[in-house]
Chains A and B, each alone.
Chain A
Amino acid sequence: MPEDPGIRVRSPLVELTLARVRELVREPEAVFWVFVFPILLAGILGLAFRSRPPEALPVAVVDGPSAAARLIALRAEPGLRPEVLAEPEARAALGRGRVVLVVQAGDPPAYTYDPTQPESRAARLAVDEALQRAAGRADAFTAGALEITEPGSRYVDFLVPGLLGMNLMGTGMWGVGFSLVVARNGKLLKRLVAAPARRSHLLAAQLLSRLIFLVPEAGALLLFACLLMGVPLRGSLLVLCGVSLLGAMAFTGLGLLTAARPRTIEGVSGIMNLVMVPMWVFSGIFFSTERFPAAIQPFIQALPLTALNDALRAVMLEGAGLAAVGSELLNLTLWGALSFAIALRIFRWQ
């Protein structure tokens, strides 16, 4: 048999995995969506929702005999930004939301404000207190103020684990689903089976290539978030890796399941969206799942992305160990194992 002694023949599993890895790293768009996009999103959203010192509330004082004295009294209050306006301008400014409260010219004054707006209500309290005090009211006591600025409670701290979960879902599902459907559609799957590729190797290569990409994919986002944005990692890095790994496997299984039957990209895209859109909405990527009504909480808690996001947040923000996220890990294991098993049974090879 002609066989060059110098030529090494690798195992089919290695070759199949290598092929997947090569395909992905040679696709600039894929590299952007997998590695760059989550970092950009974390950066932009982190910047947009960064914690700011409470802003002074803009209020208007209607011009009149006592306007000057009231202006001085209100300026003494750091939470207020008063200005003197003629009555029509003051009304217009309130209407447009440029000020949140108007102090009318009469004596005693009347306040025009919108009690349904929290800022308006806060302004009423502050303005009333400042004017009462200026009019000679003595405080019964002065309460101490203990302000909370807990690190790890910023929006970006909440966001980063959610983005990591979202990314693991997206790459697991798209990465596996698309490549399989493209291969089926182009008769490559059939050809690989005809050349004697083992079916188990074809699927295992998908899993392995996902594992390989998990490291740079999660690593890039976490490095960026922890080093540049100061997002805390309170739990152990090892536990975080374990949770990410299990999450990636669960979504690879779901990706296999969604790609088990469709013959076309359009077909698989529809199913992917059907599976992923609910999780984008309900699974607490951008805001807490607790905002949804209690009636649908069992559904939300059953979703694998909810479990993954909860577990990632618990480990990163609360320093949870493996035991503390046990139920989430069980959820991910079940999703992964079930979808994998079903995918294997119903998989269309040609």
Chain B
Amino acid sequence: MPEGALAVRCRGLVKRYGSVVAVNGLDLEVRGGECFGLLGPNGAGKTTTVEICEGLTQADAGEVFVLGETWQGDGLALRARLGVQLQETKFPERLKVREVIALFRSFYPRGRSVEETLALVQLQEKGDAFVKGLSGGQKQRLSLACALVGDPELLFLDEPTTGLDPQSRLSTWGIVEALKARGRTVLLTTHYMEEAARLCDRVAIVDHGRPIALGTPRELIASLGAEHVIEFAVEETAPAVSAETLRALPSVEGVAQEDGRWRLTVREVHRTVPALLAALAEGGAAVSHLTTHHATLEDVFVALTGRTLRDA
């Protein structure tokens, strides 16, 4: 794949399931050699979008080019150039890890050896283990191995770390980073902002079947105009705090409220916090909760939708 050429190009994708619109006029461009992330809450249409790109689901409208080609017939020739990992594939429990990888290797006209693939996903010691006996993280790595065994030009990863423990998640991230270092193109979906921030060169934030923001994680966070977030709440009995008061505080760039909890995006925490506390004390409101953190993609999502990724 030439650097900079488009690995995936979608225009105006629409997919409906009955009355539910899963994908609603989505445009998408994934450049060769980059790791592109679709970030959004469950039900945002990420999986449907990826499965349309993988040729597994037919879009109701719109066009899709994958590695410059469209999906036609069984698409075997195009599939041979892709690596696909679905959410939760249940591999046959009584097969050995090595046998499953060899099975998937047989579908590709060219690719990696089984041993090399085992090493790539750090499953060398589990080659002769039965699928049945693998942990969740190891099963996920086996799934990754099956997507990598054809040495794909373009790799689709659908929620590669959902449901994994932190250690397995870190090791999966390590594998994807190693692939990136070798210049492979990856399209991944996730609802973990830290995953998108760490792995992705560019991120599209998706909500209700359409992208609502696009850019590098740094750009997206910078679009908030402030790098820090202050979250606070006051006692329920306290007099109401007005958004105008908060917006007038020094270095505040954004104000949002959700479930009685305020969220301020600020440039400089050390200037805002004393002023905030003083203003609250003056209004007679006792603070019941106060935290600050560096702005993340989650804050971008909240700023755009008014909801958190978990709640959405």
Instruction: Give chain A's interface residues, CB within 8 Å of chain B.
Output: 1-4, 7, 9-12, 14-16, 18-19, 22-23, 26-27, 182-183, 185-188, 190-199, 350
- Of B54, B89, B106, which one neighbours A186 at CB under 8 angstroms? B89
Q: List 26 A-B contacts (CB under 8 A).
A: A2-B113, A3-B113, A9-B106, A12-B103, A12-B106, A12-B107, A18-B99, A18-B103, A22-B94, A23-B94, A27-B94, A185-B90, A186-B89, A187-B88, A188-B89, A188-B91, A190-B89, A191-B89, A191-B146, A194-B55, A194-B79, A194-B84, A195-B84, A196-B75, A196-B107, A350-B56
Name A194's closest neighbour in chain B (CB-CB): B84
A183 to B93, CA, bound (A): 11
CB distance from B257 to the nearest CB of A (A): 41
- Of A26, A185, A199, which one neighbours B94 at CB under 8 angstroms? A26
Further pairs besides A3-B113, A23-B92, A190-B86: 12, Cβ < 8 Å: A2-B112, A2-B113, A4-B116, A7-B115, A9-B106, A26-B94, A187-B87, A191-B146, A194-B84, A195-B104, A195-B146, A196-B80
- Of B56, B80, B82, B114, which one neighbours A7 at CB under 8 angstroms? B114
Asked if B207 is an interface residue, CB under 8 A from chain A, the answer is no
Asked if B11 is an interface residue, CB under 8 A from chain A, the answer is no
Pairwise interchain contact A195-B89, C-beta atoms closer than 8 A:
no
Name B92's closest neighbour in chain A (CB-CB): A23
Pairwise interchain contact B84-A2, C-beta atoms closer than 8 A:
no
CB distance from B48 to the nearest CB of A (A): 13
A23 to B131, CA, bound (A): 11
Pairwise interchain contact B92-A196, C-beta atoms closer than 8 A:
no
Pairwise interchain contact B92-A195, C-beta atoms closer than 8 A:
no
- With A4-B116, A7-B113, A22-B94 known as contacts, the answer to whether A196 contacts B88 (CB < 8 A) is no
- Of A12, A185, A191, which one neighbours B86 at CB under 8 angstroms? A191
Asked if B108 is an interface residue, CB under 8 A from chain A, the answer is yes
Chain B residues whose CB sits within 8 angstroms of the CB of A196 once the complex forms: 74-76, 79-80, 107-108
Chain A residues whose CB sits within 8 angstroms of the CB of B212 once the complex forms: none
Pairwise interchain contact A4-B74, C-beta atoms closer than 8 A:
no
Chain A residues whose CB sits within 8 angstroms of the CB of B55 once the complex forms: 194
A23 to B132, CA, bound (A): 12
A23 to B151, CA, bound (A): 27
Pairwise interchain contact A19-B56, C-beta atoms closer than 8 A:
no
Pairwise interchain contact A3-B110, C-beta atoms closer than 8 A:
yes
Pairwise interchain contact B92-A188, C-beta atoms closer than 8 A:
yes
Chain A residues whose CB sits within 8 angstroms of the CB of B214 once the complex forms: none
Chain A residues whose CB sits within 8 angstroms of the CB of B191 once the complex forms: none
- Of A4, A187, A198, which one neighbours B76 at CB under 8 angstroms? A198
Chain B residues whose CB sits within 8 angstroms of the CB of A27 once the complex forms: 94
Name B79's closest neighbour in chain A (CB-CB): A196
A76 to B30, CA, bound (A): 103
CB distance from A28 to the nearest CB of B (A): 10
Chain A residues whose CB sits within 8 angstroms of the CB of B54 once the complex forms: 194
Pairwise interchain contact A15-B106, C-beta atoms closer than 8 A:
yes
- Of A19, A197, A198, which one neighbours B92 at CB under 8 angstroms? A19
- Of A2, A198, A199, A350, which one neighbours B116 at CB under 8 angstroms? A2
Pairwise interchain contact B95-A1, C-beta atoms closer than 8 A:
no
Which are the 5 A-B pairs with shortest beta-carbon distances? A186-B90, A196-B79, A15-B106, A26-B94, A194-B84
Name B56's closest neighbour in chain A (CB-CB): A194
The residue among A183, A197, A199 with the most chain B CB atoms within 10 A of its own CB is A197
The residue among A14, A182, A195 with the most chain B CB atoms within 10 A of its own CB is A195
Chain B 168-216 interface residues, beta-carbon cutoff 8 Å to A: none
- With A19-B92, A23-B95, A191-B86 known as contacts, the answer to whether A4 contacts B79 (CB < 8 A) is no
A30 to B178, CA, bound (A): 42
Name A30's closest neighbour in chain B (CB-CB): B94
Chain A residues whose CB sits within 8 angstroms of the CB of B113 once the complex forms: 2-4, 7
A199 to B80, CA, bound (A): 14
Chain A residues whose CB sits within 8 angstroms of the CB of B107 once the complex forms: 12, 192, 195-197
A2 to B120, CA, bound (A): 13
CB distance from A8 to the nearest CB of B (A): 9
A11 to B113, CA, bound (A): 15
